[in-house]
Amino acid sequence: MSEQNQAVHDRLAREYSAGFVTEIESETLPPGLDEDVVRAISAKKDEPSWMTDWRLDAFRRWRTMPEPNWAHVSFDPIDFEAISYFSAPRNKPKSLDEVDPELLRTYDKLGIPLHEREALAGVEKPQIAVDAVFDSVSIATTFKERLRDAGVIFCSIAEAMRDHPELVRKYLGTVVPVSDNFYAALNSAVFSDGSFVYVPKHTRCPMELSTYFRINAENTGQFERTLIVADEGSYVSYLEGCTAPMRDETQLHAAVVELVALEDAEIKYSTVQNWYPGDEQGRGGIYNFVTKRGACVGARSKISWTQVETGSAITWKYPSVVLRGDDSIGEFYSVALTHNAQQADTGTKMLHIGRNTKSTIVSKGISAGRSQNAYRGRVRMNPGATGARNHTRCDSLLIGDACGAHTFPYIESRNPSAVVEHEATTSKVSDDQLFLCAQRGIDPEKAVSMIVNGFCREVFRELPMEFAVEAGKLLEVSLEGAVG
């Protein structure tokens, strides 16, 4: 290894600024999982009986399912009996004004505004409505009234079940069926909260919506469920952010996100995932085993996933699109950065069913330290997908010699008129690039961050402006010490 790259490595010791713990009284179920726990969760949420049955059905199926073992990751078996499946702050607020100040300070520290202050005179800042999920429950949702005026429903999924049961019942589990996979089944049994969005016909959601997930409690799993329905001709852009305290024990996060786009509707879903990645030795961190899928149900609908993944000890995540409607469009733009002992197996699935459906996949994997970073993508053209097209571009960037990048593309085409294109490259942050920067006076840390940001450019430009800036900074922090 060259001197410069050695220095990069020495300084890759990252700082995780969201790693603090909030001291707050919580109500937590004892560890372990059986039908009584599932019933207890359902009862805590005052759910209707159909929902309790739905959960129990999921639980029974989960019990019979094997854990997936095909991903390019390795970890000790998870003891599902050692996890607590529900934790919530004891004082549940009824309105924004009642939110525990300690919680408000937590979100303030994380830079998430849980207030609805109007834009300061002269400063036009785009407003973002936030649903804040703390451990197992949603603690606050902002700008609800303004959204309601536009007809948009944005609330926690628990509230939606109470106030809009017909919508939840109609769509929940239609995109990710209860028995889709091991973690999705587990989530269906025990999910505690998450966000619900419904955008009515021909409505453009007047602001960005976002959910901010925060794991705080120890030894608890976090299982959120997000459901977004965009009715005919509507548009919504949705952002998701995540952080967790630094702890020595690993924590399980198994979320399910379902998106439904009806005719001519468009959903743009962006994630900046910064769960605690564990320490340099690979102790602690979040196991992020997430099922995200969107269904382009209607003709000419569009679903676009953009993700920036820098956190988690292990990431297992394949945001996918089922392209059912004719002329529908699916997109996946991803940056996944792994460092130290992190492992990521992430990618997407594009399932082309309708005619003239189109999908675009742009994946940028960055590996540093001893980390392993795999892209896994499946593109399937069904017999009816006449005129369908996919373009996949998959780039890997290596920093140092101890990390690994892997690409697993699966292509299945059952329609001769469908076109599937796949490009893949692997490159390194080269000593020559670092020396060029140094010779121009740019210090190695700044140089690496600039080179990595350049590598991610195509993905960052898909993010909403404010998120793009945040993502750039996040990469910079994550790569702190990447060169010397």
Partner 1 sequence: MLQIENLHVRTDGRDILQGVSLTVERGEVHAVMGPNGSGKSTLANVIAGRPGYEVTEGAVRFDGIDLLALEPEERAHHGVFLAFQYPVEIPGVSNMEFLKAALDSRNAAAGEEELSAIDFMRRARGAADRLDLNPEFLKRGVNEGFSGGEKKRNEILQMLLLEPTLAVLDETDSGLDIDALRIVAAGVNAYASPDNAVVLVTHYQRLLDHIVPDYVHVLVDGRIARTGDKALALELESNGYGWLADPAS
Contact positions vs partner 1 (CB under 8 A)? 2-4, 430-433, 435-444, 446, 450-451, 453-458
Cα separation values, 456 from 226, 376, 396, 397, 435, Å: 27, 18, 10, 10, 21
**Least distance to partner 1 from the beta carbon of 315, Å?**
23
E-strand ranges in 191-301 read 195-199, 208-214, 225-230, 235-243, 250-253, 256-261, 266-273, 285-296
**Least distance to partner 1 from the beta carbon of 322, Å?**
31
**Least distance to partner 1 from the beta carbon of 407, Å?**
18
Q: Which is nearer to partner 1, 114 or 475 (CB)?
A: 475
Task: State the Cα–Cα distance between residues 347 and 341, nearest whole angstrom.
Answer: 19
Phi (first) and psi of residue 96, to 5 degrees:
-55, -40
E-strand ranges in 339-371 read 343-352, 358-367
**Least distance to partner 1 from the beta carbon of 447, Å?**
8
**Least distance to partner 1 from the beta carbon of 436, Å?**
5
Task: State the Cα–Cα distance between residues 358 and 385, nearest whole angstrom.
Answer: 10
Helix (H, G, I), strand (E, B) or coil at 389: strand
**Least distance to partner 1 from the beta carbon of 384, Å?**
38
Q: Where does 177-277 have alpha helices with state H?
A: 182-190
**Least distance to partner 1 from the beta carbon of 472, Å?**
11
| Residue 357, amino acid | T
Phi (first) and psi of residue 314, to 5 degrees:
-135, 130
Q: To which H or E segment does residue 402 belong?
A: none
Q: Which residue in this structure is represented by tokens 């010490």?
A: 481
Q: H/E/C letters for each residue in 144-199? A: HHHHHHCCCEEEEHHHHHHHCHHHHHHHCCCCCCCCCCHHHHHHHHHCCECEEEEE
Q: Which is nearer to partner 1, 322 or 336 (CB)?
A: 336
Task: State the Cα–Cα distance between residues 433 and 426, nearest whole angstrom.
Answer: 16
Short-list 84, 88, 87, CA closest to 32: 84
- CB distance 294 to 260 below 8 Å: yes
Q: Which is nearer to partner 1, 92 or 446 (CB)?
A: 446
Rounded CA Rg of the chain: 22
Q: Which is nearer to partner 1, 276 or 333 (CB)?
A: 333
Q: Which is nearer to partner 1, 29 or 394 (CB)?
A: 394
**Least distance to partner 1 from the beta carbon of 111, Å?**
24
Q: Which is nearer to partner 1, 178 or 437 (CB)?
A: 437
**Least distance to partner 1 from the beta carbon of 460, Å?**
9
**Least distance to partner 1 from the beta carbon of 405, Å?**
16
CB count in 10 Å sphere of residue 140? 23
Q: Which is nearer to partner 1, 233 or 444 (CB)?
A: 444
Short-list 57, 314, 47, CA closest to 173: 57
Q: Which is nearer to partner 1, 8 or 73 (CB)?
A: 8
| Residue 341, amino acid | A
What is residue 328's DSSP assignment? -
**Least distance to partner 1 from the beta carbon of 179, Å?**
42
Largest CA distance in the chain: 68
